[in-house]
């Protein structure tokens, strides 16, 4: 093997490792932020149970929940790109498609438009639902704090706020994610159809 081929293989291995390291780093950032979020929310709820219900703590929790949802989304996009790039390198450059977890191993597998294997549930979806639920719960606390003590009014406020944030998530954030999925799927297909050197 000449030194040019060995250098290319070594560089490819480094790129593959860096892609997975960046993808894992994004996952760890999401977990750390969620841990901090849970501690702050727990502290805020404990403070509200001692000091009573006021408007500023639920308002803070509404904003913090929105930040959490947007942070989760912001970390999802690079995770998609880095993890898919590592998978593409594994499948196309090293012909290890049998070990593929993101893209299908066989032609009969059910896939999305991006070419990825369909799955029923994702951990990312669970994180987003958690932030949306906490957003709605904070809205309920805010409505109670400003004077609406009626259970039906509070429930309606919570349901409407959850539905609203869920629609924004589905219509805006999910479409941005789908664009990243499609971009990486196109890259996979281009590489698959490219003639060998």
Domain locations in the chain as residue ranges:
3-193
Residues of the chain with pLDDT > 90, as a percent, come to 42
Give the Cα separation of 187 and 5 in Å (integer): 23
- pLDDT one-digit tens code per residue, 137-161: 999 999 988 887 777 878 888 899 9
Coil, strand, or helix at residue 93? helix
pLDDT for 182 equals: 82
Ramachandran sector of residue 109 (left: φ over 0; alpha: ψ -120 to 50; beta: rest): beta
Position 131 confidence tier, pLDDT thresholds 50, 70, 90:
very high
Give the Cα separation of 187 and 73 in Å (integer): 22
pLDDT at 102 over 80: no
Please state, rounded to an integer, the average pLDDT across all residues of the chain. 84
C-alpha 110, offset from chain centre: 22
pLDDT at 103 over 90: no
pLDDT for 68 equals: 95
Q: Does 95 or 196 have the greater pLDDT score? A: 95
Position 195 confidence tier, pLDDT thresholds 50, 70, 90:
very low
C-alpha distances out from residue 95 to 19, 92, 98, 100, 115, Å? 18, 5, 8, 10, 17
- pLDDT one-digit tens code per residue, 52-90: 888 899 999 999 999 999 999 999 999 988 988 888 888
Position 197 confidence tier, pLDDT thresholds 50, 70, 90:
very low
């Amino acid at each position: 093997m000449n030194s040019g081929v060995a250098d290319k293989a070594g560089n490819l291995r480094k790129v593959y490792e860096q892609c997975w390291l960046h993808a894992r780093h994004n996952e760890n950032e999401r977990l750390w932020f969620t841990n901090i979020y849970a501690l702050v929310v727990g502290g805020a709820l404990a403070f509200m149970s001692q000091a009573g219900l006021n408007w500023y703590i639920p308002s803070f929790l509404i904003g913090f929940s929105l930040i959490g949802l947007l942070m989760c989304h912001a970390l999802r996009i690079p995770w998609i790109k880095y993890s898919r790039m590592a998978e593409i390198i594994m499948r196309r450059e090293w012909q290890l498609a049998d070990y593929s977890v993101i893209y299908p191993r066989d032609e009969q597998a059910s896939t999305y438009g991006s070419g990825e294997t369909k799955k029923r549930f994702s951990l990312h979806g669970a994180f987003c639902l958690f932030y949306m639920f906490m957003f709605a719960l904070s809205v309920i606390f805010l409505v109670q704090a400003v004077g609406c003590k009626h259970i039906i009014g509070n429930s309606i406020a919570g349901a409407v706020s959850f539905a609203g944030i869920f629609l924004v998530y589905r219509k805006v954030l999910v479409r941005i994610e789908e664009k990243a999925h499609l971009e990486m799927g196109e890259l996979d297909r281009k590489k698959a159809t490219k003639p060998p050197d």
